[in-house]
Each structure stands twice: as C-alpha cells, then as structure tokens.
A and B are shown apart, each in its own frame.
Chain A
Amino acid sequence: MNNIVSKILIVANLVFSLCFMCFAGAVFTFQAGWRDKANKTQSQLTSANDQVQQLQGDKELLTTKHAKELGDETTRANKAEAKVNNLDQNLKQAIGNLANAEKERDKHLADLQVAQQEAQARITETNDGRAEIKRLRDQNNEAIAVRRGLEDKNLEMVGELADAATREMKLLKEIKRLNELLRLNKIDPRDPVIGPVPKDVEPVDGFVVESRKNASRSTELVQISVGSDDGVYKNMKMTVYRDSKFLATIQITEVYPDIAVGLVVEETRNGTIERRDNVTTKF
C-alpha cells in the first residue's frame, strides 16, 4: 500500500516538477516581451498621467475662466433681464398709451366728422347767403338805378320848379305892369272880359325842312322845323320868306312837338318854297 502511494506521489512529483519547469521556462522566455510591454505601458501611462495633469490644469483654467465668464454672463443676463423687465413695463405703458391714443383718435375722428358735417352745413348756408346777397345786390342795383332815375327826375323837377318860379316872377311883374297899364288907361282890371279875344301870337322863327306838292299838285305842303314845344298850334298862320322876300303864307295843319306841317294858303311870284327858307309868325 505504501509502495503504491509512494509511486503515485513520485509520479505526481514528476508531473508537478515538469509543470514548474515549463512554467519557469515560459516565464524566462516571454518576460522580456512582457517587460518591454510593461515599460511601454508605463511610459504611456506616465505620458497619459502628464496629459491628464495638463488637461486637469487646463480644465481648472477653463473652469476658472468659464466660472468668470459664467459670472459675467450671469451679470449680463441679470442686467438684460432687468432691461427686458423695464422694456416690458415700457411696452405695457406704451400699449396703454397706444390704447389711450386710439381712444383719443376715435374721439377726434368723431369730432372731425361732426365738424365736417357742420362745415358742410355752413358751406350750404354760405352758398344760400351768397345767393341771397347776390339777389339783394341785384335789388340794390335796381334800387340805385331807380333812385338815380328819381334823382334825375327830381333834378329835372327842381329845374322846372326854378323855371316856374322865374316864370311866375316874370308873370307877376307882367300882371303888375298890365294892371298899371290898365289903370293908366283908366280901365279897372277887375272888370269882366266881354267878347272873343284874339289869340296872342308869340314870335316863332324856324325854317323849311321839306316842301312838296300834294297828289293833285295844286296845293303845296311845307314841313317846318318848329312844333308845339315852340308855341306853334293848329290853324296858326305863318309866313315863309327868303332874304326879306315874302314867298308864301302857310296854315298849320299838323302839329308835333318838334315839327309841324303847313298848307300853303297864299303864294307870291317871288319864288318857290325850297328847303332852308325861313318861317316866322311875324314878318
């Protein structure tokens, strides 16, 4: 029994010894590569640590810088927020002002419409007033024309009145003179007039405008340049003469204010009646 166990142990000892030898040989064989790799890894680790430290420093710098920038940006953000709040308040105030301005504008528009309507009414009223003024001006012009006519007539009447007054004075003087003449001839002026009184012939001088024979060529008609305004009346007898030569006697048959027509009732042989011959009541 001991023999078998010892044999087994010897074999196991052999196996383990061979394994130990193989393990040690493998370690001796590959340890150089492992060492290089370890050195390389160590150097990489060192450089990585350096880089990590550098990056850590950079990170701290960046962190500090970013913290500072963050503080600045935070300050700016706070300022901007305050500004935005102010702007919001200003905007709200401006919106309120705008609403007030719109209300004011609407009110002014309503006032403007009312004013426009009133202005239109005033324009219509003014046009009516102008038409009324034009009508009154026309009436005034007509009244002025009438007044001027009346003034002219008044002046004419005043002149006639003055002439009448002068004539009245002359007639009163003539009546006085005639009364004195009657008294001088021992005639009472208050005695009544008995019998026909011949018509007083006033001296009228004119000239022949035209003369012609009538249809039978027996009687000559003469148109003279004086008429009723000059004291000529119908059936009045007048004398036609030329340079102190008696030509004919005519009897007035037609009388007009400024002309008259006479019929030749007596004709001499001193000549025929022609245009521009003189005519008178007393030759």
Chain B
Amino acid sequence: MGGGGMPEQGGGHGRKKKALDAVINVVPAIDLLSCCIAFLLFTAVWTQISRLQVQSMGAGGPPPTAEQQKQLQITLSLTERGLVLSTSAGTSIDIPSAGRSPDGAPIYDVKALATRLKQIKTEYPDQSAITVAAEDAVLYADLVKVIDTCIGAGLAAVAVTAAG
C-alpha cells in the first residue's frame, strides 16, 4: 500500500509519546531490484525450444536387444496417400490423408492416428517402442507432428527410418 495509514497516538493525556511510525529506506531495495531486472533481462530466454528424442535407425545405432526383438514391432509409415500403421502381430491399418495442403503435400489425420495408437497402447500397456518410416517427400513438419502424436500416445521410444 502506497500511503499506509499512520498509527494513532493512543492515550492523549497530554504526555508526549514517542512516535510509532518509522520510515523504511527503500533505496537499497530499488537498487537490488534494478540489478536483478538488468541481469534477468540479459539472460532471459524468450523462445521456448523443446526437443523430440528419436533413435536413428541404420548405421551407428546400437543393435536392438533380445528383449526389444521379443516385443511387438509397430511400424508407422508416412506415405503420399496417408499413414499406414502395421504391427508384427499382422495388423495393418490405413489412415488416409485428410486432404492436401495448397503446396500439394498430404495433410495427415493425426487425430485418427492418436486414437489408433491409444488403442494399441491399451492392448499392450508395456509397449513403448515404435518405428516411424517416412518417404523422401515427407516434410519435416509432418514428421514432427507424427512423432509428437506417438509420444503423446505413450510410445516414447521412437525410431526413425526411411520407408521402402
């Protein structure tokens, strides 16, 4: 409060009492706050960049362990026509694209993909690995969107490879 109420001088029997109010020197506080603001403004990060961790399949990567090989293999292919979700259990689900963007790139139906992935996650709760296989023409934005959907559905161990 800017103008705090002055404490009342009680009594009033004519005797002069010592004043109860005290002036706090706020100048050091202002100095400290100014320094803090200057430092924080210099070090502030305005763009929050995050990362989606994926494994690069192919050269250099660690070979899959026996346990991983025993697990269900889920492969999600990004093609010109849409998404194809297949598992080593023999299931293959086509998720056709939801249309075309003005530059001709397919618009992937990520909502339908999320629903399918959640179904798989419900059936196999321990499953966390998925392989995303993309065609050469797939845009980076679409790849990231699909990987993000996979991670959101609980399949966090994403491996990326080329389709075909």
Are A and B bound to each other? no
Q: Write the residues of chain A forming the contact surface with B, with a CB cutoff of 8 angstroms.
A: none
Q: Write the residues of chain B forming the contact surface with A, with a CB cutoff of 8 angstroms.
A: none
